[in-house]
Amino acid sequence: MSLENEFDFLMLGHFAKDRNVVDGQGKIESGGGVYFGSIVLRRMGLRVGIVTRLRADDFPRLDELKQAGVRVFATPAPETSGIENVYSSNDMERRICKPLGFAGKILVADLPAVTARIYAIVPIIAGEVDLPLLETLAARGPVALDIQGFVRVRDGNDLVFRRWEQMAEGLKRVTYLKVDRAEAELLTGETDLAIAARRLSAYGPREIILTQSSGVTVFADKQIHHAPFTPRALAGRTGRGDTCFAAYLGRRLTASPAEACRFAAAVTTLKQEQPGPWRGTLVE
């Protein structure tokens, strides 16, 4: 295997063409975990590839990632996935989400012949990644997984949250699990984040990364770590969780869970102040 086919991270999920609406004013923008996350990892100097699906006529939207140094493995699909996020500027924490398209399931055959230190599954909508693909990746190396893409389900013109029926089987194969507060409560019935994290870790994940509006909580080695988000503005609210997860994973390659937690909170704080992916520096 040549160096050009060896990555720190191989990320899987749909590249999204979202419509973000604030106070009635809409704008089409790129999105998805592979978008926000891969650029964070590149800013950290890491080798990143993404596996994704979208309409062929939307492939030019991937140029932004390629220019950032991300290797893109894209398969043409009938539609490009996307979500309409409707916000009020008075409360950028809350949003109404509706599906705009769905690019279909990523297949084992779509995987490139490459290796990675971590395989990050970061779908936006349930159905992008199934259990056989998760099992295939886990056989290759450590898996990081954002539970959002398994519990956020299309229901007609709405996106609803439902329990992942194969969660017990799937989480046995996951090393790093990312959830937000609402997802943690849905899956465990617990409102206490520490208790929820411990319950989720019992399924198999070694580390739980749990985000909420106030910050990030990490459960690792039977220890709880927390670091706050302290943004001066929330113009870059979309992509917060994707940014936090990627920053944590990237830092975790060389640092402790506690240090990775603090680093992820700092990056996510800066990201929330500006729309789009984080393009800052490690000095910041």
pLDDT in tens, 220-236: 999 999 999 999 998 88
Asked if residue 277 is part of any domain, the answer here is no
Q: Is residue 138 left, alpha or beta, with left meaning phi > 0 and alpha meaning psi from -120 to 50?
A: alpha
Asked if residue 183 is part of any domain, the answer here is yes
Structure tokens at 165: 């029926």
- Residue 86, pLDDT score: 87
> What's the structural domain count of the chain?
1
What CA–CA distance (Å, rounded) separates 176 from 261?
13
Number of alpha carbons in the 13 Å side-chain half-sphere of residue 180: 17
Is the per-residue pLDDT at 46 higher than 70?
yes
Local confidence band at 92 (pLDDT 50, 70, 90 cut-offs):
low
- Residue 1, pLDDT score: 54
Q: Which range marks the domain in which residue 118 is found?
A: 3-272
- Residue 258, pLDDT score: 98
- Residue 2, pLDDT score: 60
Asked if residue 233 is part of any domain, the answer here is yes
Is the per-residue pLDDT at 94 higher than 90?
no
Asked if residue 282 is part of any domain, the answer here is no
Task: Write down the mean pLDDT value for the chain.
Answer: 94
Instruction: Answer positive or negative: Cα dihedral of 170, 174, 180, 185.
Output: positive
What does the pLDDT average to over 118-136?
A: 97
Contacts of 100 (CB under 8 A, 6+ apart): 17, 18, 19, 81, 82, 83, 84
CATH number assigned to the domain comprising residue 119: 3.40.1190.20
